[in-house]
Amino acid sequence: MKVHHFQALVIGALCLGAAVLAAESYNQHQQLAELQTAARNAPADPGPSLRRDIGELRTTLSTLSPQVAALEDAQHQHTTAQATLGQQLDELAASVRVLQAVPPGPSSADLTALAQRMGAAEVILEKLSTAAKVPTAAAPPASPFRNQSNAKALRPPFTLLGIETRGTVRFVAAQPAGAHALSTVHLLQPGDSLNGWQLRAIREGQAVFHVPGHGDRSLPIP
């Protein structure tokens, strides 16, 4: 009786062990099937694609680096040019303010007339200097009263300095005898008078004056 009971216990234990093993095997089979399904559904290895994208990115960066450097250089040059231009504009504005503060000077016409008068004055001064060095010839004996009368009647009371032209109008520059200042120079047109001598005409190298009581007298123009 005891033997049969022991055998039943052993057989029961074996059946229980077989059931446990079957259940464990089933669980492992289920896990293996799940792992296989997960492996089939898993995405492909991103490593090659990622490495390819990184390589392209590096290539793009190496291409853009010189362009970025050139852009920075151009920006630096542009900034420098703007600073230089601003400084030049400031200097120009300061120069304009200085010029505006300066009172207006003589016009070009005034300077030209002054230069012509100075040139004429230099000519007459040179003539006077030359005349002072040349001894005068002895005059034949005559009546003192007659000589003084003729000298006063025929000698012009001025000195011709030259001809000045303003536009199409010509003038005879004359300076009263004994005067040396530029302000005493007179510009005569036909019809003008100086010390009683009236200018009649301006010819080539000559000026024709009318002298009261003596008629016309031609004087050389230097």
- Write down the pLDDT at residue 69: 87
Please state the domain count of the chain: 2
User: Residue 47: inside a domain, yes or no?
Assistant: no
User: Residue 51: inside a domain, yes or no?
Assistant: no
User: Residue 104: inside a domain, yes or no?
Assistant: no
Backbone angles phi, psi at 221, to 5 degrees: -105, 125
User: Residue 92: inside a domain, yes or no?
Assistant: no
CA dist 130 and 10 (Å) reads 168
What SS3 class is residue 157? coil
CA dist 24 → 28, 29, 30, 131 (Å): 6, 8, 10, 152
User: Residue 159: inside a domain, yes or no?
Assistant: yes
Q: Are 123 and 27 members of one domain?
A: no
pLDDT, greater one: 6 or 139: 6
Nearest Cα to 210, choosing from 197, 221, 192?
197
Q: Is the pLDDT of residue 217 over 60?
A: yes
CA dist 103 → 92, 98, 99, 100, 106 (Å): 19, 10, 8, 8, 10
User: Residue 12: inside a domain, yes or no?
Assistant: yes
User: Residue 206: inside a domain, yes or no?
Assistant: yes
Range of the domain at 11: 1-33
pTM for this entry: 0.33
> Tell me, what CATH number does 175's domain have?
2.30.30
Inter-residue contact 217 to 211 (CB < 8 Å): yes
- Write down the pLDDT at residue 74: 86
Q: Which of 3-12, 49-58, 72-81, 131-140 has the lowest mean pLDDT?
A: 131-140
User: Residue 74: inside a domain, yes or no?
Assistant: no
SS (H, E, C) 77-142: HHHHHHHHHHHHHHHHHHHHHHHHHCCCCCCHHHHHHHHHHHHHHHHHHHHHHHHHHCCCCCCCCC
Position 105, amino acid: G
